[in-house]
Every structure is written in structure tokens, then in C-alpha cells.
């Protein structure tokens, strides 16, 4: 088996921005008069901003018209952007930089495949932009995960066939997207939350090129 490229999700894989999404959505919920519990937060991971708002409104049993929805999504994003503007490289998850550097020195191409329209701003803040050969974010795709578009565009931009790509993902929608793209998949997180990955690991703290080779290069 030959892996020529690795594609990384951003939120939950490279950085933990899920907590900033959660705080911002929580403020919107409390302004609307209900509590958005952390137990529902898993449902927001990997899905688009508008799909997240739909989940929030469903939890709060709230019905509003599309123009109000746009205003709420914009307000949530303004809050979220104010949090990510304060991000620093210290927030890169453990082991990520070392793993990216190892991949590069082994000649494996690297892409980002994120649903977030704020992905390039986040990479800039955490000073990681230069580690990626291609960046596909929410501004470049028209259909959200679990559609494979984000990862297929990443593979195309790198010039690598989907079957030679490996995706790292923390959300079920992203794992389904990678599966739909015909790629190899390593889930990041807990196996009970992530169905259909090839393997699930807790993170990159104890995962390096040797472990990757043992799984895929035999």
C-alpha cells in the first residue's frame, strides 16, 4: 500500500477550536433564551456553520425565517472570530508539528481539508500555513462533509489519486466524507464516536512516521 499524501482536518485534529465554536454558539443560545448543553456539542463537529445553526435551533425548539438565520450565523461568526484572533501557536495540538515535519522529510504531500471558512485565518494565527502544500477550506467547497468534495479537491490540488491519500479526521461527517472519497482514514478521538475509520488514535502525541508505516506501508 502506498500513501503519497496526508489530508488533515483542522478543528479537532490540528487545533481544538471546537471549544470556541461551543462558547460562541452557547452565547447565541442564551440570547435566544435557552441553554445549549455540552453533550450536544459533538453534533456540531465537522458540519457547516448553517448546519450547526440548524442543530442549535432544533435543540432550542426555535423556528425563525432565513434572514434571521443569516443574522444569527453572522453574529456567531463575529464572536468566534474574536476568539480565534487571540489564538497562538501554543494551541497546536501535541505532536502535530513533529508529525507534519516527519511527513515532509519522508516526501509525503500535506493538505488541509476543513469545513471552516476561517481555516486560513486560523493557520495564519498559529503560524502553520507553510507546512501545507494545499489548503482546502469552507470557502473552496460547495457541498459540506459528508460529501467528499473537500478531500477530492485536496487530492486534485496535490496531484495525488484518492486511493493514495490518507485523511485524519475527528468528526463522523468527515470520516464519511473521506470514505466517500475512497481514501484511507485515521480517526482522531474515541472509537465509539468514530465509525468506519481504518484505525482510531487519541492524537499525535504518541503517533509518528514509524507507527504510520506499521499501519500502511507493510
Which residues of the chain form contacts with ligand B16 (CB under 6 A)?
Answer: 9-12, 21, 44-49, 52, 77, 114-118, 138, 171
172 binds, among Mg ion, ligand B16, none (CB under 5 to 8 A by kind): none
CB of 114 to Mg ion, least distance (A): 7
Residues within the interface to Mg ion (CB under 5 A): 9, 11-12, 46, 170-171
Q: Which lies closer to ligand B16 via its Cβ, residue 108 or residue 173?
A: 173
49 binds, among Mg ion, ligand B16, none (CB under 5 to 8 A by kind): ligand B16
128 binds, among Mg ion, ligand B16, none (CB under 5 to 8 A by kind): none
* Residue 103 C-alpha from the chain's centroid: 19
Position with the least CB separation from Mg ion? 12
Q: Determine which helix (DSSP H) or strand (DSSP E) holds 135, and give its type and residue range.
A: strand 134-136
CB 110 within 8 A of CB 100: yes
Q: Which lies closer to ligand B16 via its Cβ, residue 22 or residue 209?
A: 22
52 binds, among ligand B16, Mg ion, none (CB under 5 to 8 A by kind): ligand B16
User: For residues 44 and 14, what is the distance between their CA atoms, to the nearest angstrom?
Assistant: 17
CB 198 within 8 A of CB 186: yes
Closest CA to 20 of 113, 98, 91, 104: 91
CB of 142 to ligand B16, least distance (A): 14
Closest CA to 17 of 86, 69, 72, 95: 86
Q: Which lies closer to ligand B16 via its Cβ, residue 48 or residue 172?
A: 48
Active-site annotation, residues: 9, 11
User: For residues 206 and 218, what is the distance between their CA atoms, to the nearest angstrom?
Assistant: 20
CB of 17 to Mg ion, least distance (A): 8
CB 5 within 8 A of CB 110: yes
Amino acid at each position: 500500500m502506498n500513501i503519497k499524501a496526508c489530508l488533515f482536518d483542522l478543528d479537532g485534529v490540528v487545533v481544538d477550536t471546537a471549544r470556541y465554536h461551543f462558547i460562541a454558539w452557547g452565547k447565541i443560545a442564551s440570547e435566544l433564551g435557552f441553554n445549549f448543553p455540552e453533550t450536544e456539542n459533538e453534533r456540531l463537529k465537522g458540519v457547516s456553520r448553517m448546519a450547526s445553526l440548524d442543530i442549535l435551533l432544533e435543540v432550542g425548539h426555535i423556528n425563525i425565517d432565513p434572514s434571521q438565520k443569516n443574522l444569527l450565523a453572522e453574529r456567531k461568526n463575529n464572536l468566534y472570530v474574536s476568539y480565534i484572533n487571540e489564538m497562538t501557536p501554543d494551541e497546536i495540538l501535541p505532536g502535530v508539528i513533529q508529525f507534519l515535519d516527519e511527513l515532509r522529510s519522508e516526501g509525503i504531500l500535506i493538505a488541509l481539508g476543513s469545513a471552516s471558512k476561517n481555516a486560513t485565518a486560523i493557520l495564519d494565527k498559529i503560524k502553520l500555513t507553510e507546512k501545507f502544500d494545499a489548503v482546502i477550506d469552507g470557502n473552496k467547497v460547495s457541498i459540506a462533509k459528508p460529501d467528499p468534495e473537500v478531500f477530492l479537491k485536496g487530492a486534485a490540488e496535490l496531484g495525488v489519486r484518492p486511493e493514495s491519500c490518507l485523511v485524519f479526521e475527528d468528526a463522523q461527517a468527515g470520516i464519511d466524507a473521506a470514505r466517500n472519497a475512497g481514501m484511507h482514514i485515521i480517526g482522531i478521538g474515541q472509537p465509539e464516536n468514530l465509525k468506519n475509520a481504518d484505525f482510531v488514535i487519541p492524537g499525535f502525541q504518541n503517533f509518528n512516521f514509524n507507527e504510520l508505516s506499521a499501519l500502511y506501508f507493510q
